[in-house]
Amino acid sequence: MADKYSADTIITETQKRISNAFDVFDHESNKTVDVREIGTIIRSLGCFPSEADLHDIIAELEEEEPTGFVRYEKFLPTMTKILLERKFRPITEDLLLQAFEVLDQQKKGHLEPEELTKYLTQEGEPFTQEEMDEMLSAAVDPDKNVILYKDFFH
């Protein structure tokens, strides 16, 4: 009996979290959000989906005749399931560090901006120019003009 209550509580709390996040993007206060914000909402709730994952989710959430908006009634059950099933789990720092090390083929301990740009704009799910620029502006050490990736991690 205690389990039942706590399970319910977990679901309710989860749903309230989802509702909060959804509301932040619900500009017209009519329980809809622009479909382009779905990725942001899902990610802000702690998930790390890939672009392909998102694509699938959005396909599920859109109306039969796409309106460009996603309704809360559809979003809630989908998102609840994602959270309760712990899909798209976070990427740990260790993993992320490994990833950078993989790209640092010559084991220099840092990456050149051009190197990183090449990988991230050509491989995997490529960054747009804007995404790349933004990342570089945050990641590149202004004095040495390289990305000291080890410094990102404590």
Q: Which residues bind another protein (CB under 8 A)?
A: 12-13, 16-17, 20-21, 23-25, 28-30, 39-44, 47-53, 87-92, 95-96, 98-100, 102-103, 105, 119-120, 123-127, 131, 134-135, 137-138
Angle at 149 (CA atoms; ends 95, 101), nearest 5 degrees? 50
CB of residue 28 vs another protein: minimum separation in angstroms? 5
Q: Cα–Cα distance between 41 and 50 in angstroms, integer?
A: 14
CB of residue 125 vs another protein: minimum separation in angstroms? 5
Smaller CB separation from another protein, 64 or 102: 102
Contact 151, 93 (CB under 8 A): no
Contact 34, 25 (CB under 8 A): yes
Smaller CB separation from another protein, 125 or 151: 125
Rg (CA), the chain: 19
Q: Cα–Cα distance between 154 and 142 in angstroms, integer?
A: 20
DSSP alpha helix (H) spans, 106-152: 113-122, 129-139
Smaller CB separation from another protein, 64 or 106: 106
CB of residue 123 vs another protein: minimum separation in angstroms? 4
Smaller CB separation from another protein, 44 or 66: 44
